[in-house]
Amino acid sequence: TLITLRQLLDHAAEHGYGVPAFNINNMEQGLAILKAAAAVDAPVILQASRGARSYAGDIMLRAMVEALAKMHPTIPICLHQDHGNNEATCLSAIRHGFTSVMMDGSLLADMKTPAPYDYNVDITARVSDAAHWVGASVEGELGVLGSLESGEAAAEDGSGAEGKLDHSQLLTDPDQAVDFVLRTKVDALAIACGTSHGAYKFTRAPDGEILAMHVIEAIHARLPGTHLVMHGSSSVPQYLQDLINDNGGEMPQTWGVPVDEIERGIRMGVRKVNIDTDCRMAMTGQFRRIATKTPREFDPRKFLIPAMAELEVLVKDRFERFGTAGHA
Ligand code: G3H
Ligand code: 13P
Ligand code: NA
Ligand code: ZN
């Protein structure tokens, strides 16, 4: 069953659990995520970026998600636009069956340049009105994702954005968050707390200096009815870095957001936890292992079956640790 983000996260808030939002681009990711969800009885958020929509095509994405819902009739699924950059992206997603959209006005439409506050309020309020008229949910973002280590803002794709920012822009301000939600009426709010997209988040195991989980608590206290979202929440686990690097990969050592920090965030009010990089690494690790171990192999299924299995292990673990399991 397809449901909205509002319906799904209201239930999560009522029962005090978090929901991972996994990015999806193809059938194999969808099969693996839903298989894991069915195994632990968890509701699912599948999110598609603009890149995913152009990779698979809107018609294919929608049909795929409807097929997954048919295969797993007891699992509630939310189909969410990740990082919509303007009104057209968000409204065309809704037309194509998405039940929820993110209007990311923290950056200008180029998804690189940090945007003025008023721009963010205006464009998000416009999308919020239109989406609510037709029964879709909306996520906004306040604060620019980026590194508290370097002061660099991060573009949507994990590359550097324009210019250096100070800490106040890299951490969402609770007073401004209250004003933002009042004026935009978003259902969910993505906040900045020191995470960034991609694999290279931290150059050391993060502590409170570079991963500022305390901002979540302050915002949640002021906005109990708004569901908080953590972007850049991949853990970049060592076992996947090793799987990739032991099979010809050359990923420099890196650190992500530890799963126990996310669990702490969920206790402080985080409801939606965005994860893409870990899923990519799980699949790519197995591609590399199969390619290295059986260099004569050329049947893609021989690569994709272990890749799906590795993704399933990861996804199941997040459902269990975030408390999503058992709530479908
Ligand atoms: O926020 C970025 C997500 O990881 C999606 O990445 O735009 O390469 O599909 P993508
Ligand atoms: P990661 O790159 O940490 O997986 O974050 C994904 C994300 O925030 C998608 O919106
Ligand atoms: Na999103
Ligand atoms: Zn994101």
The vertex-171 CA angle with 219 and 241, nearest 5°, equals 110
The response to whether residue 231 sits with its C-beta less than 6 Å from ligand 2 reads yes
Beta bridge pairs of residue 19:
272
Give the residue among 53, 186, 66 at the shortest CA–CA distance from 131.
186
pLDDT at position 151 is 85
The predicted structure's pLDDT at residue 206: 97
Residue nearest to atom 10 of ligand 1 (CA): 51
- Write out the binding residues for dihydroxyacetone phosphate: 198, 232-234, 274-277
- CB-CB contact of 261 with 206 (8 Å): yes
How many residues are present in the chain?
A: 328
ipTM of the predicted assembly exceeds 0.95:
yes
| HSE-CB of 181 using CA atoms within 13 angstroms | 21
Kindly report the average pLDDT of the chain as a whole number: 96
Q: Which residues are catalytic?
A: 82
Residue at token pair 């509701």: 43
What is the rounded CA–CA span in Å between residue 250 and residue 261?
Answer: 27
Q: Could you report the per-residue pLDDT of 124-142, keeping only the tens digit for each?
A: 999 999 999 999 999 999 9
Q: What spacing in Å lies between the alpha carbon of 296 and ligand 1's midpoint?
A: 32
29 lines ligand 1 (CB under 6 A): no
pLDDT, one tens digit per residue, over 30-75 is 999 999 999 999 999 999 999 999 999 999 999 999 999 999 999 9
Show the tokens assigned to 238.
Answer: 């060592």
DSSP 273-301: EEE-HHHHHHHHHHHHHHHHH-TT---HH
The answer on pLDDT for 162 being more than 80 is no
Q: Is 94 helix (H, G, I), strand (E, B) or coil?
A: helix
**pLDDT for 324:** 99
Tell me how far CA of residue 180 lies from CA of 121, 135, 155, 326, in angstroms: 6, 21, 21, 34
Q: Which ligand is the nearest neighbour of the Cα of 111?
A: 1
Mutate to test the pocket of ligand 2, among 276, 278, 283, 314 (most ligand atoms within 8 A of CB): 276
pLDDT for the residue 164: 73
Q: Is-contact 194 206, C-beta < 8 A?
A: yes
Confidence grade of residue 150 (pLDDT, cut at 50, 70, 90): confident
The model's confidence at residue 80, banded by pLDDT at 50, 70 and 90, is: very high
Residue of 139, 120, 102, 116 whose CA lies nearest to 180: 120
3-state SS assignment for residue 193 = strand
Q: Is-contact 20 270, C-beta < 8 A? A: no
Q: Which of 54, 53, 36, 43 is nearest to 8 (CA)?
A: 43
Residue 269 Cβ < 6 Å to ligand 2: no
Cβ(54) to ligand 1 under 6 A? no
Distances (CA, A) of 225 to 6, 9, 180, 198: 11, 10, 13, 29
Catalogue all structural domains in the chain, each as residue range(s) with its CATH number.
5-321 (3.20.20.70)
**Model confidence at 303: pLDDT above 90:** yes
Biggest distance spanned by C-alpha atoms of the chain: 60
**Is residue 328 within 8 Å of 1, Cβ to Cβ?**
no
pLDDT of res. 163: 67
- Cα(156) to ligand 4 centroid in Å equals 7
Strands 160-164, 152-154: pairing is: antiparallel
**pLDDT for residue 165:** 79
Q: Is 102 in the pocket of ligand 1 (CB under 6 A)?
A: no
CA atoms of 294 and 309, how far apart (whole Å): 18
Q: Which of 82-86, 149-153, 181-185, 277-281 has the lowest mean pLDDT?
A: 149-153
Q: What is the pLDDT of residues 202-256, one digit of tens each?
A: 999 999 999 999 999 999 999 999 999 999 999 999 999 999 999 999 999 999 9
Question: Ligand 4: distance of its center to the CA of 158 in Å?
Answer: 9
